[in-house]
Amino acid sequence: MRSLVRECTLTTNDFVMPVFVMEGENKEEPIPSMPGIFRRSIDLTVKECKELFALGVKAVNLYMKVSDHLKDNTGKEAWNKNGLMQNTIRAIKDAVPEMIIMPDVALDPYSIYGHDGIIENGKIVNDATSDALARMSVSHAEAGADIVAPSDMMDGRVQVIREALEDSGFTDVGILSYAAKYASSFYGPFRSALDSAPKDDMEIPKDKKTYQMDFHNSREALNEVFKDIEEGADIIMIKPGLPYLDIVTKVREAIDLPVAVYNVSGEYAMVKAAAQNGWLDNDKTIIESLTCIKRAGADMIFTYFAKEAAMILNG
């Protein structure tokens, strides 16, 4: 009877798996703060994508662990046609053509400062960063990306990216915009995975509060969402997930576009830590958490639980 009257059902079609990639061959490194999650070389990333697709997880979100010698203040490695991201996209598309590839578009993994933007005179410069993100997005599209996912929160960057994609002939490449991304404490494990936290330098901003949203604010999220839709976004992202489900519902009720929600690294780490201590039932908590995100209004959920949740749902 409960199944017959159930209002919300979770399936593997709801999931996008974030994937961390590193240089090398046949390499796999565990991320201590995210048990069960790894940085992998391209060959092992391709193997992982094959396994994910076989389980019913049909989309991945790519992040690169960039070597220090390739980092600078311009982020130019981000649009290197033979860069780690570009080679990863091509390798996955060759091996699993139907896998939807959504590469992250942001400069922080490529920045010597760990910021999402270019820095001049101690400040993030918005327009120069947007131009760099557009070059990065076109490079991803050329490599075979289906959807680019700008996570930087620069003002106006969706329009700049959309125009660059159109001018380059990539009219079918979508934009998933991180429209309501909050300056959150829940990102810690992710930043350690990529070594992308802002550097402790008195000459630059010590955090990302000058461009990410204030977690005290709710109405501001709708303003950000509407602006990105006007600029050409195809999908809207809210990040983080569980502590921000009020924002998810508010956005879902206000727009008709697909809504994505990011069940972030800190949320993952808390569940895993509690489960390892026997304080929570791992499987039941994963499914309940993800179902609650969907119930709040998410059309797709970016989650590090994607593979594990698919295995649970598949029995």
pLDDT at 207: 78
Q: Which domains does the chain have, with CATH numbers?
A: 2-314 (3.20.20.70)
- The answer, yes or no, to whether residue 300 has pLDDT greater than 60, is yes
Pairing of strands 123-125, 118-120: antiparallel
Q: C-alpha distances in angstroms, 92 versus 26, 51, 137?
A: 15, 12, 17
List pLDDT tens digits, range 153-164.
999 999 999 999
Q: C-alpha distances in angstroms, 234 versus 49, 105, 160, 262?
A: 24, 15, 14, 16
What residues act catalytically?
181, 239
Q: What is the DSSP string of 231-246?
A: HT-SEEEEES-GGGHH
Confidence of residue 192 (pLDDT cuts 50, 70, 90): confident
Instruction: Let me know: does 162 contact 134? Beta carbons within 8 Å.
Output: no
- The answer, yes or no, to whether residue 202 has pLDDT greater than 60, is no
- The answer, yes or no, to whether residue 14 has pLDDT greater than 90, is yes
Instruction: Let me know if 220 is exposed, middle or buried by CB neighbors in 10 A (0-12, 13-18, 19+).
Output: middle
Confidence of residue 257 (pLDDT cuts 50, 70, 90): very high
What length is written for the chain?
315
- The answer, yes or no, to whether residue 204 has pLDDT greater than 90, is no
Q: Which two tokens stand for residue 313?
A: 């749902």
Q: Which two tokens stand for residue 312?
A: 């649970």
pLDDT at 19: 97
Is the model more confident about 31 or about 204? 31
pLDDT at 209: 82
Q: Any known ligand binding at 77?
A: no
For residues 117 and 83, what is the distance between their CA atoms, to the nearest angstrom? 19
Q: Average pLDDT, stretch 91-116?
A: 95
